[in-house]
Structure 1
C-alpha cells in the first residue's frame, strides 16, 4: 500500500511514541499466550506468557488458562495467534549530514521494527544525534557509527595515524575503509586502529585487494559486490565485453577464505538489486516502494532519473546485463558464504540508492538472503543475533531470553514459514514500550 505522505506518518509515529512513553504508568508488561520465536535455536515456543519489567525480559512461562487478574500485575497484551521475535538490526545505514531528516529516519526504522544499527560514513551531526539517543533526549534506534569514509589514494602512514587519533577524539566507533585508499594508509590503519579503540569496516581497496583485506584487521566487508571487483574474480561494471560473466570457479575458495580469516560480510543485496532495477527503469522501480520522489529523503539522496547517477552510468544493454550477471553471482557467493559458516549481517545501504526505504529495505534484504539460499531462520538471525554478536551486544540483545532487552516485534504471521511475514507487523516494542503499528 502506498502512503500519501510518509513524512506525516513519520511525524505522527514519533508523536505517538513520545506520548505513550510519557503516559506509561507501569513499567511492567505481560504479553500473554503468544508464539515466541526465540532465535537462540530454530524453534517455535507456542503459547507463552512473556513478562517484561524495566525494559527487560523478566520471565517466560507456558501459558495456562487464567484470568488477567491471575497474571502478574502490569499492562496486559493478548498475544493469542501472534508471533513474537527480537527486534531488528540494520548493519549498514546512512543518515547523511542533513540533521533535519534524522528523526524521520528514526521513525521509519521504528515503524519497521529496526531498533539498532551500524551507521557508516558518519558526520559530527550524526555523532551528536547518536549521543542524544543514548542519553534518552530523543527517541531513535541505538547505533554505532563509523567516521567519514577513508578514501585518500595518497595517504601516508603518518596521516593514517593522525586520522585515527582524530576519529577516536571525536567519538566514532569504526573506521570506514573505501575503495581508493592507499596501501600504506590501509595497513597503518589495520595495525594501529585497535590502539585507538576503533574497529574497521568497509570496502575492499583496489590497491590492497581481497587477499590483503583478509590478512588485515578489517572485520567487516560491507558489500558482497566488493568481491567482484578484486582478484581473483576481477569483474567490473560498465561497458566491458570480456569476461562476459564472472567465473564461479572462485566461489568455494573465497567462501572458505573469508570463513578462515573470520571476516563478517554484510551482502547488501537489496542495494545492488536496487541499482539494477534503477538502471532498467528508475521511475517504474521507485513506484513500487512507499516513498514518493517528492519526499525529502528521495530528494536528499537524488532518487530521480534526472539526479541519480545510475541511469547515466548504466544506460547501455551491455552495462545492464553485467549488473544482472553480477547480481546473480552475488546470490551464489552469499549462498557459499552461508554454507561455509561466514557471519552474515543483514544491511541495506539505505537510503543511498533509489528505492531503499529506511526500515522497509531490511525486510527486503532478508527476503533476498532467503533467495540466496538461507533458511528463514538463518535470514532472521542475519538481522538479529548475528549483528548483535558483531556489535558485541549479544549478551543483552538478539534473542528472546530472560534478562535480555525487551525490544521485540509482534507479527500477525509466522516468519519461519515465510520470511516476508516479517512485514506483518502488529506492534513494535522498544525496551518494553509498545508502539502499535495500526
Structure 2
C-alpha cells in the first residue's frame, strides 16, 4: 500500500508541476501515424493526449474526442515521435552568454527536437536540465555528457573539461562527474590506454556509460571490446588501411587537418571497411556517425551562397560568423584533391551502410553548432545524409526516434507513438517515409503534452535567433 500511495503522490506532484498548457487534452484527428514500433503507417487515426501523456491511438471513427479537448486537424498530415539529437552542443557552452541558453533550446524544439544529448557538460547545464524538466522553459528533454575527459588541455579558452593524465586522475574524475549528476562519461583526445582502461573500469563500477571519441593510443578494436558508444566513426579509417600501407595514421578527429594524412585515404580497404561495420554490429556498439558535418566541412565544402541562404545563418552573431569563416578557410586554402575528398565521404557512408546491413544500431547526431550548421536544422540534414549513405528512410527516422530512446533507456517513456508514452510528437505536412526531407515540413510540435503550432514555432525561432545574434558583437 505504501508503494501504491507513493506512486499516487508522485503522479499528483508531477501533474502539479506540469504547465496548464501541457495538462489540457489535445486530440490530433484524422492523421496518418508512423508509430515507429515497426515499419508501418496507421491511416486516419486520432491521437488523444492528456496530462502530458498519450492516452489513446486508434481509428478516428472509434476514438471519442472529449468535449474539452483542443482539436488539431491532422487530415493530410503525418505524425511521428519527437526527434532526438544524440550529439548536440550549445553556443552558450563557449563564447555566447549563458543567458541565451534557453533560446538555444527553443530553437531545437521549434525544429521538432524534443530530446537532446549535450555532449560536453558544463555546470550551467545541470540547472538548465532541471528548468526544462519542470516546465519552466520550453525545450527538449536533456541528457548531459560529462565535461570532456582529455589527456591534456586544448581548445582554449573554452576547454570545458577535466585532464586525466593518469589512471588515478581518471578514476577520481569518473566518480566526481557521476556524483555531480552527469549522465555519461565523454572522452575526447590525448587519452592513453592505461587511462582509458581506468575510465572504463571505474565507469562500470559506477554504472555510467562511456561515450565519445577514440584516441589512437586506444584504437578501435579496444573501444569495440569495451562496448564504448563511438562518435564520428573515430579511428575507423586507421583500422581500415590496407595491409602494407606505408602509414598507420589517417584522418580521424583532428588529424583531418594534417594535409599529409590525406594520402592514407588512397590506402583504404573496402573489405576492411565492411568488416569493421560487421564487427561494430557484433560488438553491440551503437554509432553516431555525424555524417553531415564531416561531409560539408571537409568533403564537399560550403560556399558562402549556400551558407547564407540557410535559415540557421540568421542565428549566428557576427563575431561567430567571422570565426567560422576563418576556420573554414584554414582548411580550404589548400584542400585535399577532389578525388580524395569524394573517397573520404563515400568511405564514411560505406561504414554506416555496413553497420546497418549487419544489424548494428545507428544514432542520429548533428554535432551542431559547427561551421555554420546550427542545432535543429542540422538534425534534419543528418537524416538526409543517412539516407544518402544508403539507409532506408525508416531506418534514418529510427535513428532519431526509437533508437535513441532504446539506448538512453527511456523506451518505456518515449521514442514511439503509443498509449502511455510521454506526448513528444511532431506533426508533418508530408510523408517522411516517401522523402526523408519531409521531416522539415513541420506543422506542429508537442513536448510533454504542450502543443506548439507552426506559427508559434516560427515566432520562437525568430525571437530566439534575434536574442542569440544580439548576445555578441
Q: TM-score range by the shorter chain?
A: 0.7 to 0.9
Shift of 1:286: 1.6
Give, in whole Å, the separation in 2 of the partners of 1:164 and 1:332: 34
> How has the CA–CA distance of structure 1 residues 114 and 374 changed in structure 2, closer, same or farther, with 3 Å as cutoff?
same
Give, in whole Å, the separation in 2 of the partners of 1:131 and 1:433: 17
Deviation track 1:244-298 (CA, whole Å, cap 9, x = no partner) reads: 5232121221012111111000010011023126x845533422321337723x7
Secondary structure (helix, strand or coil) at the match of 2:215 reads coil
Equivalent of 1:275, from 286, 292, 297? Answer: 297
CA RMSD between the two structures:
2.3
TM-score in terms of structure 2 length: 0.81
| 1:346 maps to 2:364 | yes
**2:117, 2:143 within 8 Å by CA — same for their partners in 1?**
yes
Match of 1:118 in 2: 117
**1:411, 1:424 within 8 Å by CA — same for their partners in 2?**
yes
Equivalent of 1:80, from 62, 75, 84? Answer: 75
Match of 1:108 in 2: 107
**1:209, 1:231 within 8 Å by CA — same for their partners in 2?**
no
**2:22, 2:52 within 8 Å by CA — same for their partners in 1?**
no
Segment of structure 1 superposing worse, 242-251 or 75-84: 242-251
Match of 1:209 in 2: 219
- Paired residues for 1:242-391 under 5 Å: 242-245=263-266, 246-276=268-298, 280-292=301-313, 295-296=316-317, 299-300=319-320, 303-306=323-326, 308=327, 310-318=328-336, 321-351=339-369, 353-391=370-408
Query: Matched residue pairs, number?
Result: 409
| 1:145 maps to 2:139 | no
**2:54, 2:423 within 8 Å by CA — same for their partners in 1?**
yes
Give, in whole Å, the separation in 2 of the partners of 1:409 and 1:293: 24
Shift of 1:217: 4.1
Secondary structure (helix, strand or coil) at the match of 1:263 reads coil
Give, in whole Å, the separation in 1 of the partners of 2:83 and 2:291: 17
Deviation track 1:336-355 (CA, whole Å, cap 9, x = no partner) reads: 1110111100001000x212
Deviation track 1:58-88 (CA, whole Å, cap 9, x = no partner) reads: 111212299xxx6323112221111111010
Secondary structure (helix, strand or coil) at the match of 1:24 reads helix
Structure 1 stretches of 4+ moved >3 Å = 21-26, 229-234, 241-244, 279-282, 298-304, 319-324
> How has the CA–CA distance of structure 1 residues 276 and 77 changed in structure 2, closer, same or farther, with 3 Å as cutoff?
same
> How has the CA–CA distance of structure 1 residues 171 and 344 changed in structure 2, closer, same or farther, with 3 Å as cutoff?
same
Match of 1:130 in 2: 129
Match of 1:90 in 2: 85
> How has the CA–CA distance of structure 1 residues 221 and 111 changed in structure 2, closer, same or farther, with 3 Å as cutoff?
same
> How has the CA–CA distance of structure 1 residues 159 and 231 changed in structure 2, closer, same or farther, with 3 Å as cutoff?
farther
TM-score in terms of structure 1 length: 0.87
Match of 1:5 in 2: none
Give, in whole Å, the separation in 1 of the partners of 2:112 and 2:424: 9
Give, in whole Å, the separation in 2 of the partners of 1:221 and 1:25: 36
Gaps of 5+ in 2: 1-17, 153-163, 243-248, 456-473
Segment of structure 1 superposing worse, 229-238 or 156-165: 229-238
| 1:156 maps to 2:150 | no
Give, in whole Å, the separation in 1 of the partners of 2:337 and 2:195: 32
**2:214, 2:234 within 8 Å by CA — same for their partners in 1?**
no
